[in-house]
Amino acid sequence: MQRGSCFDCALRVLALRDHSVAELRRKLKTKGYEEAEIEGSIARLLELNYLDDARFARGFAESSIRNGRGYGARLKLELSRRGVTGDIVQETLAQASEEFGEAETLARTIERRYPGFDPSTASDKERRKIVSYLQRKGFSLSAILAGLKIHTIF
């Protein structure tokens, strides 16, 4: 069986979902393509605008926020893990915070994950569990405490 060109493989990978340049480079490397072949394919994909880190970051951020997978610090970490540069990450986070306010996103996340949760009747253990969960999702502690209407830290 013939495996095809690096460029064709990259197109098949991008047909499934958008990738960052670093992610695509890593995938092509694991498939055994030579460095020069990979760089040539990536240069061509960039030229054709099939590969764009800023577009990837915006799409990833929007999807993550809408699906409750992350916000703020968590989003920054996930984009960095995927090889997106710091400048693009900062720009993406700024756009995301304008489009998706932290308080509204936090309220939607709490309602989706913990429907009917009432912090005034919940035990300290339950509140700590929810605060920890929300912090892992990237929300700031001040926004969490305000969103849960908790005035003191346990």
Q: Are residues 42 and 22 in the same domain?
A: yes
- 14-20-22-25 Cα dihedral, nearest 10 degrees: 10
Is residue 154 situated within a structural domain?
no
Residue tagged 């997106």 (tokens): 84
SS3 sequence of 124-148 = HHHHHHHHHHHHHCCCCHHHHHHHH
Q: Average pLDDT, stretch 36-47? A: 96
| The model's pTM | 0.84
Claim to verify: residue 70 and residue 95 sit in the same structural domain: yes
**Count of domains forming the chain:** 3
Q: For residue 87, what is the domain's CATH number?
A: 1.10.10
Structural domain range at position 27:
6-47
Residue 1 domain flag = no
Quick: pLDDT tens for 55-73. Answer: 999 999 999 999 989 999 9
Evaluate whether residue 153 is within a structural domain: no
What's residue 1's pLDDT?
Answer: 31
Q: What is the pLDDT of residue 153?
A: 55
DSSP string computed for 8-60: HHHHHHHHHS---HHHHHHHHHHTT--HHHHHHHHHHHHHTTS--HHHHHHHH
